[in-house]
Amino acid sequence: MKPPSLRKGKTPRRPAPKKPYNNQKDPVGVYCRVRPLSCDDEECCIEVIHNTTIQLHAPDGLKANRNGEYKETQYSFKKVFGIKTTQMELFEDVSKPLVDDVIHGKNGLLFTYGVTGSGKTYTMTGSAGQGGLLPRSLDMIFNSIGPYQAKRFVFKPDDKNGMEIQNQVDALLERQKRDSQQNVPKTPSSRQRLDPEFADMIRPEEACKADGVDEDSSYSVFVSYIEIYNNYIYDLLEETPVDPLKAKPPQSKILREDQNHNMYVAGCTEVEVKSTDEAFDVFWKGQKKRRIANTQLNRESSRSHSVFIIKLAQAPLDADGDNVLQDKNQVTVSQLCLVDLAGSERTSRTRAEGSRLREAGNINQSLMTLRTCMEVLRENQMCGTNKMVPYRDSKVTHFFKNYFDGEGKVRMIVCVNPKADDYEETLLVMRFAEMTQEVEVARPVDRPICGFAPGRRQRNLAFKDELSRRLEERGGPVDTEIPAALNQLLQSFPPLPPCEISDPSDDQTLPRLIEALERRHRMRQSMIDEYNRTANMLKSMLQEMDGSLMNKENYIHQQQGQLGEKDKCIQDQKSEIDRLEKKAKMLEYKIDILQKTTNIYEEDKRTLQHELESREHRLAREQSEKKRMEARMQGMVYDTKLQWEKECERRVNAKQLEMQNKLWVKDEKLKQLKAIVTESRPENPPARPEKPQRPSREKDRLPAKRSASPSPVPSSCALPQPCPPHPASYTCDPKVAKAGGTGGPLSPKASGLSVASCITDWEQRVPQDSRQRSQSPPSSRAPDSLDRRRGRQWQLQHQHQRDWEVPQQPDHVGVEEVAGPRTGAPVRPHHRRSHSAGNERWVDHKPVTNVELDTVMQPNLPNSIKVSTPSEKALSKADKYVLTHQEVASDGEIQTKLIKGEVFKTRSGGQAVQFTDIETLKQENPTASSRKRRSSENQPPQGDGNMQGGWTDVENRCSVAVEMRAGSNLGPGYQHHGYQKRRKP
Ligand code: ADP
Ligand code: MG
């Protein structure tokens, strides 16, 4: 039974479109072949460590890379073939599947890649006895399709990369034409005819054959051989005129795209070959031509790419299985391209010069383009991009465009020479190979099956055999014999009784015959019945079977429909999976980046934390430092406060004493007044003037004794005669002497107090005195600018002062003037020591409590007796007395007073000091006192009124009183202002 589609008519199903959508992809198969070293003592840089991996060792001269590391890199391939690999083994693994595909109508591309001398040509072509992939592929094809080849010229290339089918007559005519032209035997009788180079390339035991060859198709093999040199394509099989005069340089060919978008070399010779030897022959011719061209044009074969194309055309036999179906659409053309690429070494290695350099550059350029194409393809496939692949940049890539764009199986054999010299070039080759492995090519789909029933060829052959046998037998006896089956059937019938009638009266023979014949007839009838019954049964059985077959077919159709849907579903899911995988890759990449970023941030965080910690430490340290400082400052503040409190207390005390003194002075005055009153009365005897009572705390405690009687002289006093009662003159009473000391009952300021009392006393008189002396010119006062020099002039001026003082009134006149007119003669005639200038002696009394001020202006008293407590002994040796007294002024400054006096011998033989002068040395803060200074500097005394207004402090008035009294024409008030930087508050 024929399939339903055929039962309806003889027209076969239309073939499916040539390239159905196929998204199944296979990576480019990259293999590595390591050739043996030329000589054993060469340095080797490659080691096969696994059947898929090789390891490259940098040669001795190149042991370290830029980082100084030992370089050892591994590269993996689909398979690695070591030096011992035979051509056959290589063929089995690499080439055989491609040939198998070609026979089954699928395209294949195989190329060898490597530097010159790495064994590309050896691998592709081989040598005598060591046939390479090319002869073996051809051999396998012919071994497989040999019996099914179409007659020559049945298939005819159409110049557009397609194949036409000629009718029998045209093909026969063309065959006859060819035979007459070339006179070549149809098939080479032996291999001896071949070039010795190709003889015995394949041993008979190595012969290979493809499985599953479609017997119901007819095949034809066409070969082309082209060379791409300097980016030009040359046809190596082109017929050239035999006449060398007509010979012209080979013309380059161009690439075209056919209707199926396959690239082909336009006008390229395609030679139909019918056997391996014939194909070899053609190849050899092309090879020879190539060599001649290379020699003639001085080119190097290693710089050109050679492409051997095996095209296999196949078409199904017609329904009779007799002839090729005359339908162009049923022709399947598959091709296997065997490419021996140019050496991949860089230009520098080829040592090319001039135009040769350009050639080499182009060759490398085409390999570079191949590399770029692979890179772009890989990127597009891995990252889902759609970058344009620059196939057109070189002829090689352009030619093979549809293998990568469309479909086909692509394999590459990377040939390497393990010698150390090639190391660097080999590295580049390896990188290219690694990258190429990641490129994927669409898997070729199966050829659509034609609709005819299979086994046509066999049936036709059997029929033909039978026919020819019968034809042969026709010459013999005519075929009148009963066929054996029939004979057999006849023999199964009961034998006929003898039917010879010799006796006319024989009436037994005929009835017996009749009976036998009737029996036979009955048997025949029953057999016919049986036959009919059986036939009917068979018919019904067949009908039944047909019905079930129909059902099954329907079911199959249904299932196929479902299968198609499922397939579609699977395809969709696969594409979804692809998409997701790509996405996953992208995400992984992103995760990687994020991980790296996180690491960086964490590192930053750690450093910042570290910094923070150190800063916190520093802060804590600074805070504790601050606390310590605060504690110290508080201590200091407390100390200072205490100090000031003490100082304030001291000042209050001083003021109190001063006030008490004033009180005492007033008391004294009252007493004196009283004395005057009593003196004016004659009946009252003149009273001895009262010795002025020194104010003291003891005295304060006692009831005030305002009598004129002198205070009792203590028994310890060494002075036999009490001093005359003069408020401003002190006898050298031990009490007085003690006043400047420290051990007395008085405070250290006691001497200051007694002095102050004197001053107060003088104060009372000053207005009177100043009025008396107002006639002296106010301008006589030294200009203030002189004040500064006074420090230096101090001694001298005082010398002058003494000089004019001596002949005039005694120094104590300030007091006696008041008392004198009333009391008459002086109370005590002073004995004046002679003191010519230079030989006077001073008692320099400096109480130990004095603060050493280091003032510039200090009295310089040569030859003085320095004492801290004045004693009678010291006074007896001197005639002048000076007391350095310090006290705190109202503005807080320390002011130093030099209270000067003259020492007199009393009539009783004691010593008395009469104070004559007070000098004030006042330290002022130069900045704070500038206003004050200016006022005293710029306002010369204007007269009495001015004097009173201008000088209000006790010392000034005091000095005026003294000096005016002395009749000085220098004017009032020498003030010794020691302008000095303030040392302590
Ligand atoms: P290429 O074509 O790469 O320039 P060839 O194929 O011409 O290199 O090889 C150079 C030489 O090395 C030849 O003489 C060849 O016989 C030899 N050769 C290459 N590969 C092998 C191999 N696998 N075994 C033995 N000899 C080889
Ligand atoms: Mg070569």
- Residue 511: band (very low, low, confident or very high) from pLDDT cuts 50, 70, 90: confident
pLDDT of residue 510: 82
Give CA angle at 390 (387, 395), nearest 5°. Answer: 160
Going by C-alpha positions, the residue among 719, 766, 773 that lies closest to residue 970 is 773
pLDDT at 931 over 50: no
Going by C-alpha positions, the residue among 139, 166, 278, 152 that lies closest to residue 220 is 152
pLDDT of residue 753: 43
Instruction: Quote the ligand 2 centre to 275 CA distance (angstroms).
Output: 26
Name the token pair of 195. Answer: 């070039």
CA distance 387 to 394: 17
CA distance 798 to 974: 10
- Residue 941: band (very low, low, confident or very high) from pLDDT cuts 50, 70, 90: very low
Going by C-alpha positions, the residue among 149, 275, 309, 259 that lies closest to residue 202 is 275
Q: Taking the C-alpha atoms of 82, 85, 90 and 93 in order, what is their torsion angle to the nearest 10 degrees?
A: -70
Contact 888, 703 (CB under 8 A): no
pLDDT at 355 over 70: no
CA distance 279 to 401: 26
Identify which has the larger pLDDT, 243 or 397: 397
The residue-averaged pLDDT of 431-450 equals 84
Beta strand segments in 341-453, E: 409-416, 440-442
> Which residue is associated with the tokens 């002679």?
834
pLDDT of residue 868: 84
pLDDT at 86 over 90: yes
- Residue 746: band (very low, low, confident or very high) from pLDDT cuts 50, 70, 90: very low
Q: Taking the C-alpha atoms of 804, 809, 810 and 813 in order, what is their torsion angle to the nearest 10 degrees?
A: -130
pLDDT at 82 over 70: yes
Which atom from ligand 1 is nearest to the alpha carbon of 34? 23
Which amino acid, one-letter code, is at 658? Answer: E
Ligand number, closest to the Cα atom of 122: 1
Give the per-residue SS3 of 435-449: HHCCCEEECCCCCCC
pLDDT of residue 286: 92
- Residue 827: band (very low, low, confident or very high) from pLDDT cuts 50, 70, 90: very low
Contact 436, 412 (CB under 8 A): yes
pLDDT at 720 over 60: no
Contact 313, 219 (CB under 8 A): yes
Instruction: Quote the ligand 1 centre to 127 CA distance (angstroms).
Output: 9
Contact 735, 714 (CB under 8 A): yes
CA distance 535 to 522: 19
Contact 275, 187 (CB under 8 A): yes
pLDDT of residue 181: 77
pLDDT of residue 467: 79
Per the document, the length of the chain is 985
* Tally of helices (H runs) and strands (E runs) in the chain: 24, 27
The residue-averaged pLDDT of 52-66 equals 77
CA distance 358 to 795: 117
pLDDT of residue 64: 54
Looking at the DSSP bridge assignments, the partners of residue 47 are 55
Alpha carbons within 13 angstroms on the beta-carbon side of residue 143 total: 18
Residues 6+ apart with CB under 8 A from 48: 34, 54, 80, 82
pLDDT at 596 over 70: yes
CA distance 346 to 422: 11
Residues 6+ apart with CB under 8 A from 971: 776, 777, 778, 779, 780, 781, 782, 941, 963
Give the per-residue SS3 of 52-63: CEEEEECCHHHC
**pLDDT tens by residue, 634-676:** 999 999 999 999 999 999 999 999 999 999 999 999 999 999 8
pLDDT of residue 242: 65
SS3 156: strand
Contact 693, 789 (CB under 8 A): no
Instruction: Please tell me the chain's helix, strand, coil percentages from 3-state DSSP, rounded to the nearest 5.
Output: 45, 15, 35
Phi first, then psi: what are they for 974, rounded to 5°? -80, 120
Which atom from ligand 1 is nearest to the alpha carbon of 115? 3
pLDDT at 317 over 50: yes
Going by C-alpha positions, the residue among 889, 895, 937 that lies closest to residue 919 is 895
- Residue 320: band (very low, low, confident or very high) from pLDDT cuts 50, 70, 90: confident
> Which residue is associated with the tokens 């079977």?
545
CB atoms within 10 A of CB 726: 23
Of the ranges 227-236, 386-395, 479-488, 509-518, which one carries the lowest mean pLDDT score?
A: 479-488
pLDDT at 451 over 50: yes
According to DSSP, the β-strands at 108-113 and 332-340 are parallel
CA distance 774 to 311: 153
pLDDT of residue 983: 43
Name the token pair of 598. Answer: 């996180």
Of the ranges 240-244, 386-390, 663-667, which one carries the lowest mean pLDDT score?
A: 240-244
The residue-averaged pLDDT of 854-882 equals 80
- Residue 6: band (very low, low, confident or very high) from pLDDT cuts 50, 70, 90: very low
> Which residue is associated with the tokens 């690491």?
599
- Would the CA dihedral through 955, 961, 964, 968 be positive or negative? negative
Task: Specify the residue with its C-alpha closest to ligand 1, atom 9.
Answer: 119
Ligand 1 binding pocket (C-beta < 6 A) is 35-36, 114, 116-122, 127, 302, 343, 415
Instruction: Quote the ligand 1 centre to 117 CA distance (angstroms).
Output: 6
Instruction: Quote the ligand 2 centre to 281 CA distance (angstroms).
Output: 20
Name the token pair of 625. Answer: 């430092």
Instruction: Quote the ligand 2 centre to 541 CA distance (angstroms).
Output: 69
- Residue 195: band (very low, low, confident or very high) from pLDDT cuts 50, 70, 90: low
DSSP state, 502?
Answer: -
Task: Specify the residue with its C-alpha closest to ligand 1, atom 22.
Answer: 35
- Would the CA dihedral through 845, 847, 848, 850 be positive or negative? negative
CA distance 486 to 484: 5
Instruction: Quote the ligand 2 centre to 117 CA distance (angstroms).
Output: 7
pLDDT of residue 69: 53
pLDDT at 769 over 60: no
Ligand number, closest to the Cα atom of 306: 2
pLDDT at 601 over 90: yes
pLDDT of residue 245: 65
Q: Is 200 left (phi over 0), alpha (psi -120 to 50) or beta?
A: left
Contact 896, 858 (CB under 8 A): no
Ligand number, closest to the Cα atom of 414: 1
Contact 108, 336 (CB under 8 A): yes
Identify which has the larger pLDDT, 453 or 775: 453
Largest CA-CA distance found in the chain, in angstroms, rounded: 256
Contact 490, 527 (CB under 8 A): no
Contact 198, 129 (CB under 8 A): no
pLDDT of residue 918: 84
Which atom from ligand 1 is nearest to the alpha carbon of 124? 6
Instruction: Quote the ligand 1 centre to 131 CA distance (angstroms).
Output: 12
Phi first, then psi: what are they for 305, rounded to 5°? -100, 135
pLDDT of residue 212: 87
pLDDT of residue 770: 44
**pLDDT tens by residue, 949-966:** 444 444 444 443 333 333
CA distance 634 to 628: 10
Highest mean pLDDT among 51-65, 518-532, 599-613: 599-613
Instruction: Quote the ligand 1 centre to 415 CA distance (angstroms).
Output: 9
Which atom from ligand 1 is nearest to the alpha carbon of 118? 3
pLDDT of residue 628: 95
Contact 414, 430 (CB under 8 A): yes
**pLDDT tens by residue, 474-506:** 654 444 444 565 666 666 677 777 777 777 787
pLDDT at 100 over 70: yes
Contact 304, 75 (CB under 8 A): no
**pLDDT tens by residue, 17-29:** 444 456 788 899 9
Of the ranges 104-113, 246-255, 571-580, 730-739, which one carries the lowest mean pLDDT score?
A: 730-739
- Distances in whole angstroms, Cα of residue 73 to Cα of each of 48, 60, 66, 920: 12, 15, 15, 105
Of the ranges 129-133, 548-552, 813-817, 834-838, which one carries the lowest mean pLDDT score?
A: 813-817
Of the ranges 600-614, 642-656, 700-714, 756-770, which one carries the lowest mean pLDDT score?
A: 700-714
Instruction: Quote the ligand 1 centre to 430 CA distance (angstroms).
Output: 18
pLDDT at 429 over 50: yes
Contact 882, 900 (CB under 8 A): yes
Which amino acid, one-letter code, is at 940? Answer: P
Average model confidence (pLDDT) for the chain?
Answer: 75
Probe residue for ligand 1, chosen from 84, 122, 414 as the CB with the greatest number of ligand atoms within 8 Å: 122
pLDDT at 404 over 50: yes
pLDDT of residue 303: 84
pLDDT above 70 covers a percentage of the chain that reads 66
Report pTM.
Answer: 0.51
Which atom from ligand 1 is nearest to the alpha carbon of 340? 2
Going by C-alpha positions, the residue among 249, 270, 433, 240 that lies closest to residue 341 is 433
Give CA angle at 420 (414, 423), nearest 5°. Answer: 50
Task: Specify the residue with its C-alpha closest to ligand 1, atom 17.
Answer: 119
pLDDT of residue 51: 92
Beta strand segments in 850-923, E: 865-867, 880-888, 894-905, 911-922
Probe residue for ligand 1, chosen from 35, 83, 127 as the CB with the greatest number of ligand atoms within 8 Å: 35
Burial class of residue 938, CB neighbours in 10 A (0-12, 13-18, 19+) = exposed
